[in-house]
Structure 1
Amino acid sequence: MPAESSALPAAVGDLYAEHSSWLRGWLRKRMANHCDAADLVQDTFVKIIKARNALEIREPRVYLTTVAKGLMIDLFRRRSLEQAYLEALASLPAAHVPSAESQALLFETLVELDRLLSGLGARVRQVFILSQLDGLTYPQIAQQLGISLRTVNNHMAKAMEHICLLQWELNE
């Protein structure tokens, strides 16, 4: 086993031992739920393990807070999305409410779609959703949004490129 590979687990362990309590306290001040804070500490270190960069971290607290902030934003975003989803489900007639299993699958799909579209500008995201989810044609989108057909094409190309790049990065 190369020296760097054997040093990596020790570096993560040292980082955890030295900073996990501090990070938990930092998160507790920002979270309403102490269990969420504890979960985010663990998620932060899982992310560091996956990144395999513990040996390169020079400012641990700055790095840990940056990772934890991102995870906290993701958590709040997911909960907001879940709340909107549950409200939409509650507004459906009982006969049209999907099964619990279908609801879970739909929600996970919604979360993944939100993640894929999160890096896009609002207008590009709107064009993509109108096309792919609402089934509107490009001319219909152009008319509805008051933009040119060429702009719709450019926005869709930008959205598709963004999604393809994200998928490619995930598969690496």
Structure 2
Amino acid sequence: MRVPLVLTGPPAVGKTSAGRRLAGSCPRGAYVDVDDVRQLVVAGHAAPWDGDEGARQQVLGVRNACLLASRFTAEGFATVVTDVVTPRTLAIYRAELPGCLVVRLRVDVAEARRRAATRPVYLTAEEFAALHAEDAAAELAVDAELDVTASSLDDLVAEVFRWWSGP
């Protein structure tokens, strides 16, 4: 059985596309997008950067995602979680998904903007830039880090799959 995989990186790095493809390539695969979990709050929703309430909801979203991932994994599903991980939330993933593999994807900001222009964007330009700056500055003890600026989705998925498959 595969350990849960957590894909992180800034917006438009390819987390969602790669995560869905990776989970879908397994005989029994589950995909958990933490943004989707956070969107379950339909009244009083706060973005992670919206003060204390946003920080509380960010932690709640991560913990709920970990519960889903744990249950899928316990039932034999290869589980992929995608999120913009911070040092605080990385500690939660490590505690609540023991043995998970955390892979950080990196992309040049200009390439990220090009990619973002091809899909619906739910962030302001300022939020997009701030998330990229925060990710670039964050010290995260991840298991692997990949610069995917020049990678195709197929190449990204193949490389992450190699890491996820183990030695």
Same-fold call, TM > 0.5? Answer: no
TM-score by length of 2: 0.25
- Higher RCO (CA 8 Å, separation ≥ 6 residues): 2
The answer to which structure has the higher strand fraction is: 2
TM-score by length of 1: 0.24
